[in-house]
Structure formats: structure tokens, C-alpha cells
Structure 1
């Protein structure tokens, strides 16, 4: 097992396969997009399989594929198929915006994808366009329908933004009455890639819960799974459930079991911290598996205690102006 310097088991990798995205959500990147990485800067699929294989041997048993938007990268389905076959890897999950995903759902089910997180900040087409700068809500809803039809576990990820989509909290919760989905409301984070987004967080997890309780007074707290980033709730009579993620408040750091790899192979031991090493460069330099494991073990053995400490340590080197697409959502 991988154990960090705070006694926490690390068994979950969030792997960003691309920084590119077909949406332009204002809380994630500038309207004109980012300066995209060149192909040679990205880890190849072979490199990603190699580092995943190494980490699985070290104790990682869950991998989540993120981006950018994973399905804008060509060859993704073959990579996912190969990844699910790694011995010892128990779960492969995906986070997607759903724009291109609907036709792929049957194959995702076939190759054994464990679950899908679908980004959905509103059910209103006009608000969707205002948030994402793209008029593609019907495509996202088709993906949701396909996921439910093929009985793939699905979580809907909603970033709660003051003045943008708070009126969507109620209708999104109402989805859980008839649909077996988990709707997860997420505190807004300051990663929009422009450096001018000052998150003063008027909607923290307490206020989100308060707003839900106003319309659903019977909402009940239920036990949270180990290492969960969300507070979990159920509403009697509803098929689905509700989660609230304190992504900016960072109240879950004490049980963090996650690592992140950016599209260019930078290992981050905390979302709010700087990268600690570049595994792509190590692999391209011919570093053997034994040395790679030693290097990874050393990095994981020097993790910050929590996101606040990581942010403080990173402040002298970088600012919280990175795009979530370049970090790995």
C-alpha cells in the first residue's frame, strides 16, 4: 500500500488525458480557451498506461479519467479498454461534460467502466449557454438518458455559482425523485485560468444545504463512504440521492486518498498545490520501474497536510489562476 507522511492510504488516481475542451465554462477557462499543449507535450497513451501500471502495483486501485474533456482526444476508447484490463485495477471511472459521450455509452458499459460523472450546472438551455458559452444542453441530456438506459452509475456534478445557477438547485434535486442519480453540488473554486476570478464563496456547503432544505425539509444526512469528498443526503421517497462537496472549504482533506496527473505528466499530491515531479520526463529519460517507484514513494511521503497548507506553499511559485482544464477536473 501507498501511505503518505500523514498516515493516509493513497489508492486513487485522477488522470487528466487532455487539457482541451469543447466547452468554455467561465469558471474553468477564459472565453477564448487556453493556450493548448502541443501533442508532444502530452503524455502518450503508452506512457499513461505505463504510469498507471506502476501506480497500480504500488497500491492504486481506482483511476478516474478527466480532462479537459476526455472524449475530444482521439483514440480514447481504445485507451480506456486497455486501461480496464490492468491487473489489480478495480475501478475505472470517467468525468465528462457529455457533449460527445452519448454514442459511446454502450461501449463504455461493455468494457467495464465503473461509473460516470456528468457535468451539468443547469437544466435551463439559456443558462447553460451563459455558463458554458456553447448551446449543447440537448447533447448532454442525451448522454444522461443513455447512461441511465445502460444502467451505468451516474453522478451529476453541479458547480453552484452566485447569480448564475442557484435557481437550478431545486430542479436538479427534483431529478432524484424519479431517477437513480446522485446530484452533487460543488463549491466554486478559483481555477478559471484568467487570474481575475475572486471566489469569496457566498454559496458554501452550509448555504447549499440550507437552500435544499427549504424545498425538501425531509432531507436526511446519511453516512459518508470512506475518503469521500462529499457530504451525503437522502430525501425519503426519492430513488436518487444528493451530495455536497466542500471543494473550496476543503473540509475533507484529512482523509484524502488522491493523486493527480496533469496531461503533461506532472504529479500533484494536492489540487491546490504545485506539481511535485514530472513522470513523463522520467519515463522519457528511460527511468526504470524500480527507480520510478522510489521517486513516487518519496513524493507521496512529502504531502502537505491539507489544501490550505498546499496553497500557502504554492503561493510563492504560482497563483490560483490555473485553468481546471490544465490541472485535471
Structure 2
């Protein structure tokens, strides 16, 4: 895609990205860039029904060839440019990022970089947990600061049905405990789909109360076009909070950082907290400070985007770091995405016709 300036919120067309020395580049709606989510592989060993359904992504699905993936050096260059624009957190995703050979080496490269404030960026990793028991200590040693593990059910039969490959929940729970033992803070993400795992909410809350693990419930989202999304499948976060509050009383908690996706709730008895991510019923586009880098180097400025900006082509055409940084600043400086806020204004037909990247492709 070309980097054509677009009108800002005041109607004026920007000819260059606005930059504040202490914060980096602001987009067209005055949102800073703080979080870069990096997909390191398009492969996954699960076929979760809401992300990578098996009937679409079968075992013979054609994944990217190795030469099509960004190299670790290319990822490092893009990350360095992003940090110069204000990014403070780097999150490694997939697919399943632990399937990328040498992932610890990439973590070490990224941990050696510095933010505008001169400190190590926060490095997080999102995983399905299948290889976490094997990798946890190496990830911690390389510089990962925390991990987020997808956990959609404690019921083994349901968990296996949702991951659609017969992977047992006990092995994921073992990986979670291994990460904790290695000194990694752990967050747990549960995507709630009505009629599938909405009956698991209280069991999950009870299991992880008082453990130090932060459990977050995510509204089922209309990312991509393969998961058969319907508004009828969405369990609103307000309903989730009410369900838990009726058993374990909750109080609202302040966000820990600007642009945080989850609304936080503390157990009144001091047994920890939960979070809810409400991108369908209570959109947070106004504070969104995240960009997403796909496995083969396309930069997306919204989870619901239909097109990305090809940074791999720029890198492999011989562009130096200054040109890469300028391109990134231009992309972010003209960004005006706010799909979740306007979703309700679209008819079902318009939503269906609008192409969107797949969750498995961009890593959430």
C-alpha cells in the first residue's frame, strides 16, 4: 500500500506524522503508538473454532514458505523503528509462536533494544500453552517479561472439542504452572462463545481465584470471515461480570496503563482480579495504541483491517533504517481506524461484505 496522508479529525490533511519528543508519533485521532504485536509464524498446532477452524485450515492447508517469513534480523529492525516512534511493549504472537524455531534467540535480540525512555521494552508472549512447559525457563532467561495463555475451558472434553485436535487441558495447565515456576507472570485468556463455553465462567473464576494468575474473559469477535461469527454468539462482558459478582463479589479497579484493553475487576475479599475485554459491546478504539505485524511483514493498524502495509518489500529492496522509520511514522501518523466503534452502524450485509484479516493470521 502507498503511504498517502489522510484527513485528520479536524478535516485537515496531514503532510507528515506529528511527533512529540517524549511520546513519539501520534495518529490522526491523537493516539500514540505504544504496543507492537509481532506474529512470528502463521502455523498453529490447534484448530480453535473461533480462530482457525479445522474445516477451513485443515492439515493440508498451505502455510507460508520459510523464505516468506520475516527473518529475526528483519523483525529486530522493524521493532527498533517502532520503539523510536514510542512503542514500549513488544508482544510475540502467531499462529503459535513457540512453533517458530529459535524463538528464544529472537527474544534476546528484542530484549537488547531500548525505548525512547532508554529502558528495555516490555516483552510479552501469547501462546496456546502446548509447548510452554518445555520453553518457559528459556523464554524467561532470554528476556520475556510475562506470558498470556489461551484457556477456554477446564473441562477436558470441551477443551479438546474447542481446540479441535484432541489436545488435553492438563498439559496446558502444566505449562501454566511451569511458566509460574520459571518466574513468569501469567495471564489467562478465555474467549467466551454462547452455547459453547459460557457455562465455564464460574468454574474458571473459582479455579484461579487466589492463585496470582489474572484471568481475562474476551467477547467473541468478528475477526476474519471463517469463524461463522454472529452477534447471537456473543456473551457481553457485563453479563460475565454479573455472573461472577453474584458468586464472588467484585469491585471495579483502575487500569494499570493507558490504552489497556481489559477492564479490571478485583475480588472484594482480596483473592485477586479478573479482566474483561469488550471489543464488541464496549469498544475501546478511542485509546487503542496497538499496531500488528504479520508473519511476512505486513503492518496492520487495526485488528479488523482489510489491508496492511508491506514492510518486508521495503526492507528487501534495500531501504535503510531511516527510510523504514519514516515509513512507519507515515503509516501511524495517518491512521484513523475505529472499526469496533462503528460496527453497530453497519448492517449485517455490510459487515459480511467487508474483508478482514483472520485472527490466526495476525495473532489477535
| TM-score between both structures, scaled by the size of structure 1 | 0.92
Contact in 1 for aligned 2:37/2:91 (Cα 8 Å):
yes
Q: Counterpart in 2 of 1:121?
A: 152
1:175-222 Cα shifts (integer Å, max 9, x gaps): 332300110000001236526433434411111112212222x21111
Whole-Å separation in 1 of the counterparts to 2:281 and 2:299: 23
SS in 1 for 2:232: coil
Q: Counterpart in 2 of 1:283?
A: 315
Q: RMSD of the TM alignment (CA)?
A: 2.1
What are the residue-to-residue correspondences of 1:1-329 with 2, within 5 Å?
1-32=24-55, 33=57, 34-88=61-115, 89-134=120-165, 135-191=167-223, 194=226, 196-216=228-248, 218-225=249-256, 226-249=258-281, 251-308=283-340, 318-320=354-356, 322-329=357-364
Whole-Å separation in 2 of the counterparts to 1:13 and 1:184: 20
Whole-Å separation in 1 of the counterparts to 2:50 and 2:280: 13
Q: Which runs of 5+ in 2 are unaligned?
A: 1-23
Structure 2 vs 1, CA of residues 259 and 306 (structure 1 numbering), >3 Å: closer, same or farther?
same
SS in 2 for 1:264: coil
SS in 2 for 1:113: coil
Whole-Å separation in 2 of the counterparts to 1:81 and 1:317: 42
Whole-Å separation in 1 of the counterparts to 2:341 and 2:266: 33
Structure 2 vs 1, CA of residues 295 and 155 (structure 1 numbering), >3 Å: closer, same or farther?
same
Whole-Å separation in 1 of the counterparts to 2:105 and 2:50: 31
Per-residue deviation, 1:47: 0.8
Q: Counterpart in 1 of 2:11?
A: none
Per-residue deviation, 1:276: 3.7
Contact in 2 for aligned 1:99/1:136 (Cα 8 Å):
no
Contact in 1 for aligned 2:214/2:272 (Cα 8 Å):
yes
Structure 2 vs 1, CA of residues 192 and 54 (structure 1 numbering), >3 Å: closer, same or farther?
closer
Per-residue deviation, 1:73: 1.3
Structure 2 vs 1, CA of residues 298 and 18 (structure 1 numbering), >3 Å: closer, same or farther?
same
Contact in 1 for aligned 2:219/2:234 (Cα 8 Å):
no
Structure 2 vs 1, CA of residues 192 and 4 (structure 1 numbering), >3 Å: closer, same or farther?
closer
Q: Which runs of 5+ in 1 are unaligned?
A: none
Contact in 1 for aligned 2:47/2:53 (Cα 8 Å):
yes
Contact in 1 for aligned 2:105/2:142 (Cα 8 Å):
no
Whole-Å separation in 1 of the counterparts to 2:224 and 2:132: 24
Whole-Å separation in 2 of the counterparts to 1:304 and 1:249: 20
| TM-score between both structures, scaled by the size of structure 2 | 0.84
Contact in 1 for aligned 2:132/2:176 (Cα 8 Å):
no
Whole-Å separation in 1 of the counterparts to 2:286 and 2:94: 25
Structure 2 vs 1, CA of residues 250 and 283 (structure 1 numbering), >3 Å: closer, same or farther?
farther
1:8-43 Cα shifts (integer Å, max 9, x gaps): 111110001111101010111121525312222211
Whole-Å separation in 2 of the counterparts to 1:114 and 1:92: 5
Per-residue deviation, 1:310: 8.0
